[in-house]
Amino acid sequence: MDASPARAQACQWFHHAIHYREATMNKILSAVATMIVALGAHAQEPHPPWSYEGASGPAHWAELDMAYKQCKFGKHQSPINIDTSKAVKAALKPTAFAYKSSKAKVVNNGHSVQVNLAPGSAVTIDGVNYALVQFHFHAPSEEQIDGKPYPMVAHLVHKDAQGDLAVVAVLFKEGKEKAALKPLFANLPQKAGETGKLASFDPAGLLPSGSGFYQFTGSLTTPPCSEDVLWRVMKTPAEVSPAQLAAFRKLYKMNARPVQPLGDRVVQQSQ
């Protein structure tokens, strides 16, 4: 029997199989590519806007985006009311501030005025070094002391080498002009998205005279409300003049999240 026809038939079948396999792989690769493009487009989509009032206010943050779910379901949220009678005295190490002057970019981000600082300033807390990244303001203060807010607070946001955050909160009461804030508040960016520059700013000028503090674990006070943030709220308030307060309130009359349940947390205080 001649094997040539059988060999030709086998070759034809083999070529068909190869063609079918290539076509199938091309379909799979095309589907994967489409999925990647779709995922990439989704990742680049901006998060929906949020605010401090109405349908996009704090009570609805978790409804605006799945990325904001901690704002509703988190158990250790910030800010909180600090009941001084229940704050436990503890042998906490002082905050080792190592701030220095640097260039700064001032940003009106649509929610507050934020000052982004050049690298160089840091704090050490319990042996961990945290670089100062930025600070911003809330009026009135988000943190309350025995049920009462202060006119304003500055949140100084720090990050360690692992990306963990530590926030130092400096409360402000009305009084004398804060010299450190004079060049900043004299030229605040007036509209969301506007920026400005400071040739030199020393964040040490924001700190109050006292070094005592309250400490607790909390979260970011704005979406996405991420938790496991170390908070130190300075006990002694700094002073700010009525004119300086008015300059900020002209931009943001109220940009404070309501206080959140303390839950199972214990607020410690330095001795």
Q: Report how far apart, in Å, the C-alpha atoms of 193 and of each of 48, 50, 107, 111, 196 are.
A: 16, 15, 7, 10, 10
For the chain, report the end-to-end CA distance as a whole number of angstroms: 103
Catalytic one among 15, 76, 111, 155? Answer: 111
Instruction: With cut-offs at 50, 70 and 90, classify the pLDDT of residue 176.
Output: very high
The answer to whether residue 32 scores a pLDDT higher than 80 is no
The answer to whether residue 244 scores a pLDDT higher than 80 is yes
Percent of residues, the chain, with pLDDT higher than 90: 81
**Residue given tokens 């000028």 in the structure block:** 205
Instruction: With cut-offs at 50, 70 and 90, classify the pLDDT of residue 48.
Output: confident
The answer to whether residue 110 scores a pLDDT higher than 60 is yes
CA distance 115 to 134: 5
The answer to whether residue 41 scores a pLDDT higher than 50 is no
Identify the pLDDT of residue 271. 86
Helix, strand counts (H, E) of the chain: 5, 16
pLDDT tens-digit series, residues 120-172 = 999 999 999 999 999 999 999 999 999 999 999 999 999 999 999 999 999 99
Active site residue 111: yes
pTM: 0.83
Could you tell me the sign of the dihedral formed by the alpha carbons of 187, 203, 133, 270, in that order?
negative
